[in-house]
Amino acid sequence: MDAANIKAPEAPADELALNLNEYTEIMAEIEEQPRWRTTADREMDYADGNQLASDLLQRQRELGIPPAVEDLIGPALLSIQGYEATIRTDWRVTAAGGTGGQDVADALNYKLNQAERESRADRACSDAFRGQIAVGIGWVEVRRESDPFKFPYRCQAVHRNEIHWDFAAQEPDLSDARYLRRQRWLHPSRLALMFPQHRELILSIDRHGPGWWAEQAIEAADGGSSTGLNNAWAEARAWTALEERWYNPTSKEVCVAEVWYRRWVRVPVIKTPDGRVVEFDEGHLAHQVAVASSATVPQMAVVARVRRSYWLGPHLLDDAPSPYSHSHFPYVPFWGFREDTTGVPYGYVRGMIYPQDSLNSGISKLRWGLSAVRTERTKGAVAMSDAQFRRQIARVDADIVLDADHMGRNGARFEVKRDFQLNAQHFQMMQDARQSIQRVSAVTAGFMGKQGTATSGLQEQTQVEQSNQSLARAMDNFRAARSMVGELLLSMIIDDLGDQEQVVVIEGDAVREDRTVVINKPEVDPVSGYHYLSNDLLRTRLQVALEEVPSTASYRGQQLNAMSEAVKSLPPQYQAAMMPFMVSLMDVPFKRDVVEAIRAAAQQESPEQVEQRIQQAVQDALAKSGAELKLRELAIKERKSESEIAEIQARAVQIGVQAAYSAMQAGVQVASMPQIAPIADAVMQGAGYQRPNPAGQDPNFPVSTGAQTPQVSQPTPGVQQNTSPAYPPVPQDGPSPMQGIETPRPDDNLQA
């Protein structure tokens, strides 16, 4: 209950305010609603383990049946609550469209996650989830914190019996409900601080109770009283509701009713080019310009105004418009299931009560059957009264004294019987009751972490998946309600940020660095020169979306195992790159330090890299000193010298080969024509040839063993002298176009 932003008492009366007659009609309508809260309280007692009524215990005590309770409803609900905790997700703000909205979405996402932690939204949603699955309804209040020393926003689970709503509403979020009332019992001294303008009225009720107007009527009749108290007296006299419903004479506490209601009004609205619909404000310059320029046309529409009022019995303490910008009540319903005809909420406990009673009675009957005995005796067979006999026969060490005279008569009889035949049937009924609990709740033994009927891991997994499927409807309702809690928180965050410049520092994690986003930053267009706001918060269309982000330890463990298996098959360099992301999924308090150490180790150089870096440094130093050109010149000269040496060596080989070939040719000529040797000597002497001294080395050319001195053949008569260096001589003419040995047959060759 939020009593912040209370309007001053001297404010003018509002025509939309809730009057006493309307409030009385709401009270009467609530009284006519279906009676389901008593049943819900009984179902929650079963969920808490209180499953034996007082009258039942009295009857069992009279019959000697021991009370027994084997609670199966509580563990089933706890397993469903544990399932919600293990799959818990975080809110994430995403831009719904347009450009330039991602930075604003990231900044608001950081603010929303901070509010989720500090406002205890997760705990409030979990508490409401228990009521949702048990009796079909849970409530979470999303409001501003009235204590300035605490976090500005607060989420708190509210008991179902404190809230009454319009049963005619059809929407799950109660967006079409006419009213919602919450009642709380507070001490008048605290209430007087919340409403100082009604301090006298509240303290008078504290002293005299709801009939304070009768106690002080005599003193106040002669004047000296305020006008407000006179109105309060009239209201108190005309009030028809029972007084004990808003005043407790024992604790002196009073019941304060917080009523949220809607008034439907007809207002002009305009639609902006980006798709947003806002109410037309004649005093807003931008609205006037948009209408005057025909950019938009106002249209009349019927919209709902949300208002809030506080009532102390018949006395109106305050009535004002909603202090929030959103159009919802600040109480979010968590629906389980609802009856089709009446709309009464119900949960899983409704179907588990009968099997639970059957199990409890079966255990009591079984225990009673183990100790119960049945006796058959003739009157006067025992030497004690009937009451003494019944107490004695029920003892473990029973000692029964029989009457000897009576037992000596004909037909005297005394027999003690124990009936064990029904125990097996009782045990079977107990097993059926245990199994029916699981059937009606859709929670298997494997889902509860116990050994069930599965004989393999695949069967166990299948049964758990079947339980998840049966819980899908309830979990879908829970996610929708939790998303609405996030929307209400985001709405208050946007209202507080407003259009003022805000610097949001988004803290990084083990992988991402810190980031700064400036919201509503004043800018000037460099071309047109007009002023505008970058990252304009109020013009950015946003939405709240639930995404599967690692917000639980089990989820992060699953992600870590999956990533570890994938990284094992990667090369070493890829494993080193993925290591920071794996560490971010670990539950260690120093994840950022570990990631920084890994990155520092990855940046250390190997010996080869150190040597390469030194060489590079030397080359850079030489280049800076101007010696690079000299080094290049020396390198060119070195390559040129190597090429010249190779050329000289090749030329020497060539000259040697040519000399050897010339020597061989000279020897052939001298051997074939000895008469030319003197002529050759004369020619060489004329050229200045002198025999070397000392003489050169013998080349020692190999000589064939079968070599013979070639015979100088005389020229063939009729054949011209051969001047060709080729050997043997080729005939110059012949009978065919082909000559001599060029023909394929030897018979056309010239005869010697």
Residues 27-40: tens digit of each pLDDT: 989 989 999 999 99
pLDDT of residue 460: 61
For the segment 304-338, what is each residue's pLDDT rounded down to a tens digit? 899 999 998 888 999 999 999 888 999 999 999 99
Biggest alpha carbon–alpha carbon distance for the chain: 184
Q: Using one digit for the tens of pLDDT, what is the confidence trace for 101-132? A: 677 777 888 888 889 999 999 999 999 999 99
Predicted pLDDT of residue 364: 81
Write the DSSP string, 311-351.
EETTEEEEEEE-SSSSSS-SEEEEE-EE-TTT--EE-THHH
Tokens 């992600």, residue located: 559
What is d(CA 129, CA 471) in angstroms, rounded to the nearest whole number?
A: 13
- How does residue 60 score in pLDDT terms, banded at 50, 70 and 90? confident
- Rounded Cα–Cα distance for residues 490 and 486 (Å): 6
The region of weakest confidence among 295-304, 397-406, 699-708, 712-721 is 712-721
CA dihedral 26, 31, 35, 37 (to 10 degrees): 70
What is the share, in percent, of the chain residues with pLDDT greater than 70? 68
Residue 700: per-residue pLDDT:
72
* Average pLDDT of the segment spanning 405-431: 79
pLDDT confidence of residue 218: 38
- Whether residue 723 is predicted with pLDDT greater than 90 in this model: the reply is no
CB 470 within 8 A of CB 462: no
User: For the segment 175-211, what is each residue's pLDDT rounded down to a tens digit?
Assistant: 999 999 999 888 888 888 888 888 888 888 766 555 5
pLDDT at 54: 74
The type of residue at 642 is E
Report which residue type is found at 560. L
Over residues 523-542, the mean pLDDT reads 58
Round to whole Å and give the CA distance between 395 and 667. Answer: 149
Query: In this model, does residue 366 exceed pLDDT 80?
Result: no
Distances in Å between the Cα of 525 and the Cα atoms of 100, 132, 503, 531, 532 are 16, 53, 21, 6, 8
Q: What does pTM read for this prediction?
A: 0.66
**pLDDT value of residue 70:** 85
Please say if the pLDDT value at position 421 is more than 50.
yes
Question: Confidence band (pLDDT; 50, 70, 90) for 9?
Answer: very low
Rounded CA-CA distance 146/161 in Å is: 24
Q: Give pLDDT, residue 134.
A: 93
Q: Across the strands, what pairs with 278?
A: 270
Residue 393 has pLDDT above 50, yes or no: yes
Cα–Cα distance for residue pair 534/100, rounded to 1 Å: 8
φ and ψ of 325, to 5 deg = -80, -20
End-to-end alpha-carbon separation of the chain, Å?
Answer: 142
> What's the chain's average pLDDT?
76
Question: Per the structure block, which two tokens stand in for 72?
Answer: 């199966």
Average pLDDT on 495-518 reads: 70
How far apart CA 596 and CA 593 sit, in angstroms, is 5
What H or E segment, with its residue span, contains residue 744? none
Which residue has better confidence, 719 or 58? 58
Provide the token pair at 73: 């409803």
CA 442 – CA 436 distance, rounded (Å):
10
Best CA proximity match to 316, nearest among 31, 2, 23, 30: 23
Give residue-wise pLDDT tens across range 617-663.
Answer: 877 776 666 666 777 788 888 888 888 898 898 888 888 888 888 88
Report d(CA 440, CA 48) in Å as an integer.
18
Mean pLDDT throughout 68-75?
86
Q: What is residue 308's predicted lDDT score, i.e. its pLDDT?
A: 94
pLDDT of residue 514: 67
Amino acid 288: pLDDT: 80
Phi and psi at 64, nearest 5°, equal: 80, 20
For range 168-179, the mean pLDDT: 92
pLDDT tens digits for range 225-269: 444 444 444 455 444 444 446 777 777 788 899 999 999 999 888
Mean pLDDT of 447-466: 62
Mean pLDDT of the 397-402 span: 85
Q: In the predicted model, is pLDDT for residue 709 greater than 60?
A: no
pLDDT of residue 220: 40
The more confident residue out of 139 and 373 is 139
Query: What pLDDT sits at residue 698?
Result: 73
pLDDT band at 279 (very low <50, low <70, confident <90, very high): confident
Distance separating alpha carbons of residues 420 and 365, to the nearest angstrom: 12
Mean pLDDT over 672-698 rounds to 79
